[in-house]
Amino acid sequence: MATTAPRAGLTMGHIALHYARPDDGPLAARLLAQMGLVESQMLPLPGGNFYRFVVSPDHVARGDGIVFLSCLPEPQARLIAAMRTALGVGTGEEHPAVSAYRAMMAQDFEASFHFALLVDSLEDLEAMVLNLQHLAADDPDLKGRITIGMNRARPGDAAIDARLDASPVFATVTRHAYGGGGVQVFVETDLVCAGQLGESMVFEFDYVFPGTPRHILSAVEI
């Protein structure tokens, strides 16, 4: 008897994400577009718009590379609210497990649930970061709703180290990825609700330097 499925070839189909309130839909969709996703459909619904995004214009008519975005279903919203009440989230009686979880996430954006996309141009990634930093600081709708973190490649490759030292966004970064040959950008936002507390979503954007056989996405180093 076969113990594994036939290797017919798989691609990543889609991920379904949610925003918390109907009014957050257009703003959450705007942020996804600012991060490079391509909106391919929007259905205006009474309970909040339904959006279909793809990772590239090449995927508009395909069945993979899709990000669905819709309003959080009411039963799930009630579950999250009940869980937060039981844990005393945001109160003087907050369960210590909550503060421990937050401390973990403050140290490592990728320690819990997150969604990563691979970028094929470091210059494009740098431009995205600069734009998001501007929006986080100055945009009246997005200010205070975006947190950005970055990891450099582990040092040791002289050419990569020099390129990152000259980068407009990575030059001052002191955190390092779990490996070499690539960089990571993390965008956390409460416009998309996810994670154990149903509070925010972490999007990760990775770039791998060409010609690097062992890199952050091929081998983890600790």
**% of the chain with per-residue pLDDT over 70:** 97
Q: What is the pLDDT of residue 9?
A: 84
Give this prediction's pTM: 0.93
Q: How sure is the predictor about 1, in pLDDT bands with cuts at 50, 70 and 90?
A: low
The better pLDDT of the pair 160, 5 is held by 160
DSSP state of 109: G
**Per-residue pLDDT tens for 16-47?**
999 999 999 999 999 999 999 999 999 999 99
Q: Is the pLDDT of residue 77 over 90?
A: yes
Closest CA to 74 of 8, 121, 21: 21
In terms of Cβ atoms closer than 10 Å to its own Cβ (0-12, 13-18, 19+), residue 132 is buried
Q: What is the pLDDT of residue 220?
A: 82
Q: Is the pLDDT of residue 3 over 70?
A: no
**DSSP code per residue over 47-87:** T--EEEEESSGGGTTSSSSEEEEEEPPHHHHHHHHHHHHHH
**Per-residue pLDDT tens for 113-158?**
999 999 999 999 999 999 999 999 999 999 999 999 999 999 999 9
